[in-house]
Amino acid sequence: MNEYQIYFSKYNLRDYEKDIAISEIKSIVPTITENNIKNDKIILSTEKKIEEDKLKRLTFFSEYSFKNSSCIEKKIVTNQSILENLKDLPDEVLTSNLVFKIRPNSTREIRYLTHSFHEYKGRFYPQLAKSFMNFANLKPGEIVLDPFCGSGTTLVESFLFGANAIGVDINPIAYLLTKAKIRSFYISIDELLKTKSFFEQIHLTNDFDYNIESFSHALDIEYLLRWFPKRNLKQILFLLEQFSLQENEDIQFLLKITLSNIFRDFSNQDPSQLRIRRRKTPPPRNLIERFKADLTSNIQSLIKFQKLNFLNFNAEIKNYLGDVRSLSSSTGICSSSIDLAITSPPYATALPYIDTDRLSLYVFGYTQRDSFRKLENSLIGNREITKKSRELLDTELEKNFTTSILPKEIIKLLERIYYLNKNSNVGFRRKNTAALLFKYFIDMDQSMKQMHSVLKLNKYYFMVIGNNRTTAGNEEISIPTVYFIGLIAESNGFKLYKKIDMTVQQSYMIHSKNAINSESILILGKK
């Protein structure tokens, strides 16, 4: 008989996390009961030994102990604990078996490895993505799809899991972040050290000057000078030229996202606001020194990871600059080819997604003033719309009050919001609300059709989604987006297996009149 004690994470698990943790174990040992579940651990006795790799891949567990009739007890730390503690581990631990004797941290760490390289508003945390893979009993080599991949959380966790993965996003910055976070793992230690040394030798003098006009790439310099002090913009353009000297494209990706992550701090835009608001005090001037410090930190993290050498990475990760509403034509993904889908889609009119990346879009030449709004309007869940477009959508919405492809519960609420605002003296943003929500749910219906097509039969689709609210007329109205997305999924051939209510992450709550007031995990399956 084999005896196991599998310990929950040392930090306090939220109720829904403990639920998911138990589901992770049940995917390995389906026969466990409440009697096996203790306050801080799960105790198991099995005739057949459990695969060690499966136990090491557990998410919301810190370590486990094992013993049988011929073996003394040994305790093994999970891979997740090692990754979450990586930045604090000394090199001598990384190069020996002592790594498996570390003490798991008692604090939650969500910015480990490349997850820390760039902030991205609205992303879900990496442990969730990995726990879903265990929940679904995903096998290394199977294919995971994230149709709204954002900054690449699901793809990084797929890589660490050993699964193949595909990410799709319509935002060019999301595409860059995902590519950089994945490709950074393939840079050799020698190349990382060489890059670190190259930039350590750059020092600005007080009389530093750079001829902005000499910059060779076509950027909207006039616009950038409105949002960066001239000295800071000179430092940015100087660094971009240094990036172009690097022969390894993966190094260039790493450098770009390291720089992009500090744009807001060194711009005239208020870093505490998601919207475009000017700061009241001048930004700091030591941009290159901050870049060098962050680059050193990122490189050290990558080197430590390579020294671990305890995971086998044969995963193939692809990401596309594409649109989930036309998934097959955007990516070439074949029907019934995906083993698992995990995503956190945009939330209806809740976050100014494109504004948060605006500076990076302009600096890297992904947009110009004449194309920015077009890009913004292409995003699902965006909050901007012209009067003409809104009027066209209003006309279409009115037709849907009678007959619609959307579930009747959605149309009924949209009709209420539409007439409350139409018959009241409200501003243009409230006038836009019904049309924007209508477009959002139509877009989500299109995305759900595409996802049903590419997912294999009886496979899972995990979605992290939030409810929100609006004011129509003088009434505050709750928008049960989670329930509505569930209805849309079922109308497109999915089965809703389970809805798990979550504790709202604070990053979603700020700077939004339509703030997310609750979040849930929808567990869908293709039937």
List, in sequence order, every residue forming a beta bridge with 397; answer none if it has no partner: none
What is the 8-class DSSP label of residue 63? E
What is the pLDDT at residue 15? 94
Confidence of residue 215 (pLDDT cuts 50, 70, 90): confident
| For range 134-150, the mean pLDDT | 95
Phi, psi of 408 (to 5 degrees): -60, -30
| % of the chain with per-residue pLDDT over 70 | 94
| For range 392-404, the mean pLDDT | 95
Q: Which of 95-109, 203-217, 413-427: highest mean pLDDT?
A: 413-427
Is the pLDDT score of 95 beyond 70?
Answer: no
Is the pLDDT score of 509 beyond 70?
Answer: no
H/E/C letters for each residue in 336-351?
Answer: CCEEEEEECCCCCCCC
Confidence of residue 511 (pLDDT cuts 50, 70, 90): very low
Is the pLDDT score of 105 beyond 90?
Answer: no
| % of the chain with per-residue pLDDT over 90 | 73
Q: Taken in order 234, 238, 241, 247, is the CA torsion positive or negative?
A: negative
| For range 78-102, the mean pLDDT | 75
Place of tokens 């919001």: 417
Q: Taken in order 357, 342, 382, 467, is the CA torsion positive or negative?
A: negative
Confidence of residue 515 (pLDDT cuts 50, 70, 90): low
Q: How far apart are CA 378 and CA 119, in angstroms?
A: 22
Is the pLDDT score of 73 beyond 80?
Answer: no
H/E/C letters for each residue in 158-170?
Answer: HHHHCCEEEEEEC
Buried (b) or exposed (e) across 129-166, using 16+ Cβ within 10 A? bbbbbbbbebebebbbbbbbbbbbbbbbbbbbbbbbbb
pLDDT tens, 332-342?
999 999 999 99
What is the 8-class DSSP label of residue 172? H
pLDDT tens, 265-300?
999 999 887 778 899 999 999 999 999 999 999 999
Is the pLDDT score of 94 beyond 70?
Answer: no
Is the pLDDT score of 379 beyond 60?
Answer: yes
Q: How many CB atoms lie within 10 A of CB 307?
A: 16
Confidence of residue 504 (pLDDT cuts 50, 70, 90): low
Q: Closest Cα to residue 377, out of 419, 425, 436?
A: 436
What does the domain layout of the chain look like in residue ranges?
2-109, 186-307
Q: How far apart are CA 227 and CA 208, in angstroms?
A: 20
pLDDT tens, 235-261?
999 999 999 999 999 999 999 999 999
Is the pLDDT score of 98 beyond 70?
Answer: no
Is the pLDDT score of 197 beyond 80?
Answer: yes
| For range 12-34, the mean pLDDT | 95
Confidence of residue 373 (pLDDT cuts 50, 70, 90): confident
pLDDT tens, 431-463?
999 999 999 999 999 999 999 999 999 999 999
| Residue 492: Cβ-neighbour burial (10 angstroms; 0-12, 13-18, 19+) | buried
Please report, in angstroms and rounded to a whole number, the separation of the first and last CA atoms in the chain.
Answer: 39
Q: Closest Cα to residue 269, out of 187, 352, 210, 179?
A: 352
Q: Looking at 166-175, 286-295, 425-434, which range is the least confident one?
A: 425-434
What is the pLDDT at residue 510? 40
Interior angle at CA 297, CA 160 and CA 103, nearest 5? 60
pLDDT tens, 342-358?
999 988 876 667 788 89
| For range 88-95, the mean pLDDT | 71
